Structure 1
Amino acid sequence: MNKPKYSSAVLKNEKVEYFDVVDIFDRVVGLAPREYIHANKLFHRAVHVFVFNNQGDIFLQKRSMNKDSAPGKWVSSCSGHVDSGEYYFDAAVRELGEEIGLHYSKDLNLAMIEQARPETGYEHVHLFVCNHDGELKLDICEVSDGMWIDLEKLDLWIEENPRDFAWSFVYLWKRFSRHF
């Protein structure tokens, strides 16, 4: 049976995003607007994708200054909320296309699952990885800049200037790099 999707609604010419509210075990317990979920620190779902090239570098994006969360901060290759009724994998594929112009899923693998906690913004996070050696098409509404960076240089940059990054990215990167 297909679950209904409630990814957005229009009220007074404004787009309102609705996400599933979940419990500590990632079971859906309700539906609420994005702003309400964030303001009340309710558990919800998100995906992050780390895109690596054949040299082993990771692609990072710098969030647009128009974003309400971590504007101008460096973050994962792409990330985003899971829409109501959407699967984590499908959300990762969607975000790859929307944010950096990758429209495929053949090489996308689940690398890590993080339970919702303050460090993740109260998000249950599925972190995916993939490889790509080609052009990326950045969505200027979402992304102000992007770059490939060597992993050792990234670790040093985070150590020296952690405020350049979204805190959730720093948390996920440290967890990921310990295990891979």
Structure 2
Amino acid sequence: MDPADEVLDVVDRDDRVVGRAPRGEVYRRGLLHRCVFVLARDAEGRVFVHRRTASKLVFPSHYDMFVGGVLGAGEEYADAALREAGEELGVSGLPRPRPLFKFLYEGPGGGWWSYVHEVRCTLPVAPQASEVEWHTWLSQEELDRRVAGGEWAWVPDGLEAYRRLRAFGAGGALPGGGALPGDGARGGTQPAPGS
């Protein structure tokens, strides 16, 4: 199936489903939808970083420190996180990614509810060639240097998720506005249930 034909749930600013539409239409009309971001770490704690293929509908040829993607119509965030991590890393048998928080991303490329997860991947990876053009594992320090350095074109939603993840992990206020976990403010960060 052509990715543009995949049917997605359309949601409102409170992440409630209000309809369904093909992915191409969702992107073209800028409709809110749902995505998952999964930070994958190896046994040494390094982060999986990759460059997206030039054929991607959104942010082609950009670097990303998350694997993930859109939720299909009727799909749950947790199921999508496991599916996307397995597909993009090219592994089966991953543990279920740990949900961390979600936020409403609004920026270049549109707007979507983004649920951030983390997973430990101790298996050899074989990323999908249709999704990932290049990949490596970076230490946290090296990733922070690459993000700050500006020499790589990062996906804007991934940068926003990473900024929030670093603030969330540090237990501090979110830089540049946004909300602390759980305050429910529009565009703020909400913790995962049970966290």
TM-score per shorter chain, which class?
Answer: 0.7 to 0.9
Name the counterpart of 1:3.
Answer: none
Aligned length: 169
1:179 to 165, 168, 172: 168
Contact map agreement 1:48 1:76 (CA 8 A) in 2: no
Q: Using the aligned pairs only, state the percent identity.
A: 26
**CA 1:119/1:56 → structure 2, altered by over 3 Å: closer, same or farther?**
farther
Name the counterpart of 2:149.
Answer: 160
Structure 2 residue ranges without an equivalent (≥5) = 170-195
Name the counterpart of 1:19.
Answer: 8
Do structure 1's residue 89 and structure 2's residue 78 form an aligned pair?
A: yes
Between the aligned partners of 1:99 and 1:82, the Cα distance in structure 2 is 14
Between the aligned partners of 1:68 and 1:56, the Cα distance in structure 2 is 30
Between the aligned partners of 2:69 and 2:168, the Cα distance in structure 1 is 23
* Local SS of the residue matching 2:124: coil
**CA 1:169/1:163 → structure 2, altered by over 3 Å: closer, same or farther?**
same
1:111 to 100, 103, 122: 100
Name the counterpart of 2:21.
Answer: 32
Name the counterpart of 1:130.
Answer: 119
Between the aligned partners of 1:146 and 1:113, the Cα distance in structure 2 is 25
Between the aligned partners of 1:104 and 1:30, the Cα distance in structure 2 is 33
* Local SS of the residue matching 1:158: helix
| CA shift for structure 1 position 41 | 1.5
Name the counterpart of 1:72.
Answer: 61
Name the counterpart of 1:5.
Answer: none
Q: Per-residue displacement from partner, 1:39-63 (whole Å, max 9, x unpaired)?
A: 2221100001001123221101210
Do structure 1's residue 57 and structure 2's residue 46 form an aligned pair?
A: yes
Between the aligned partners of 1:165 and 1:104, the Cα distance in structure 2 is 29
State the one-letter code of the partner of 1:35.
Answer: G
Q: Which moved more, 1:151-160 or 1:83-92?
A: 151-160
Contact map agreement 2:102 2:113 (CA 8 A) in 1: yes
Between the aligned partners of 1:98 and 1:32, the Cα distance in structure 2 is 23
**CA 1:165/1:116 → structure 2, altered by over 3 Å: closer, same or farther?**
closer
Contact map agreement 1:61 1:75 (CA 8 A) in 2: yes
State the one-letter code of the partner of 1:18.
Answer: V
When the two chains are superposed, the root-mean-square deviation of aligned CA atoms in Å is: 2.0
Contact map agreement 1:61 1:76 (CA 8 A) in 2: yes
Q: Which moved more, 1:56-65 or 1:70-79?
A: 70-79
